[in-house]
Structure 1
Amino acid sequence: MNRDEPDNPARPAAGLRLCALADLADPGAKGFRFRHERALFAGFLVRQGDAVTGYVDSCPHNGWPLAIMDDRYLTRGGDRIICAAHGAMFRPADGLCVAGPCADDHLRPWAVAVVDGEVLTA
């Protein structure tokens, strides 16, 4: 089973607490992995100011996870998400690939919300 399918049984249900907003650097990113039997769901959060966006951790170019090391999704300046495999770069706000082999493609969104200072699945 492809780990980023919407019907993936490992994808967490809405309302699951992921972390406190204060646990995310600004700018910053944090990855999450969930398993259900043999299924895996991998996602990550990106914080820019008060905005937190979630994405499935899968490059649209090859389906591989974007980060080689835990939570290392952003460029040094924190203004772009980067794929460690091929150097593709994405805008944090909408996941649009602005450079690399998947230019003009998007990261797959993962619905999250900030409620009372906590980041939850939506």
Structure 2
Amino acid sequence: MDDPGFWRARPNAPPPGAVLGALTEIAPGGAKEYRFGRGRSTFSMFVVRLEDGVRAYLNLCPHFSLPLNQAPNQFLHGEDILCRQHFALFRADTGICFSGACEGRSLIAIAIHVSDDGMLTIAD
């Protein structure tokens, strides 16, 4: 999906300014899932904490539109993001798939902001 605003049209997508939580809730080199809504229309995203900041992605594999994780907060395999459904690997810093069924495609990035006091919010 090449449309960077695609995620905003999904059911229960958080609005700009929505607070996700404190950066300290994510271990360095770790990831955390954030869910909005319930049931089939749940919006799921995750944030990866890297050495140079954070990246956020829609929790949806571009290969077959399934969640990347099978258990809460399990997105990483070493320094890469792993789709536990298809075993595709994505670069955590760019979201680009470099191994697996969707090689060359990308995860859908979600712009987030880290405030001076370390709170994560959805960016405008």
Is 2:75 the counterpart of 1:73?
yes
TM-score relative to the length of structure 2: 0.87
Contact 1:9 1:36 in 2 (8 A): no
Runs (5+) with no aligned partner, structure 1: none
2:18 alignment partner, one of 16, 19, 30? 16
Which stretch of structure 1 is more off in the superposition, 51-60 or 6-15? 6-15
CA distance in 1, matches of 2:39, 2:64: 24
CA distance in 1, matches of 2:40, 2:98: 34
- Percent identity between matched residues is 37
> Which of structure 1's runs of 4+ aligned residues deviate more than 6 A?
none
Please report how far the alpha carbon of residue 37 of structure 1 lies from its aligned counterpart in structure 2 after TM superposition: 8.8
SS in structure 2 at match of 1:18? strand
Question: CA offsets per residue over residues 37-87 of structure 1, 9 Å max, x none?
Answer: 963211010111241111000000010000001000001x2x100000111
Runs (5+) with no aligned partner, structure 2: 1-5
Which has a greater percent of helix?
2
SS in structure 2 at match of 1:6? helix
Contact 1:46 1:53 in 2 (8 A): yes
Is 2:58 the counterpart of 1:34?
no
TM-score relative to the length of structure 1: 0.88
Contact 2:7 2:58 in 1 (8 A): no
Please report how far the alpha carbon of residue 8 of structure 1 lies from its aligned counterpart in structure 2 after TM superposition: 2.4
- Equivalence map 1:75-90=2 (5 Å): 75=77, 77=78, 79-90=79-90
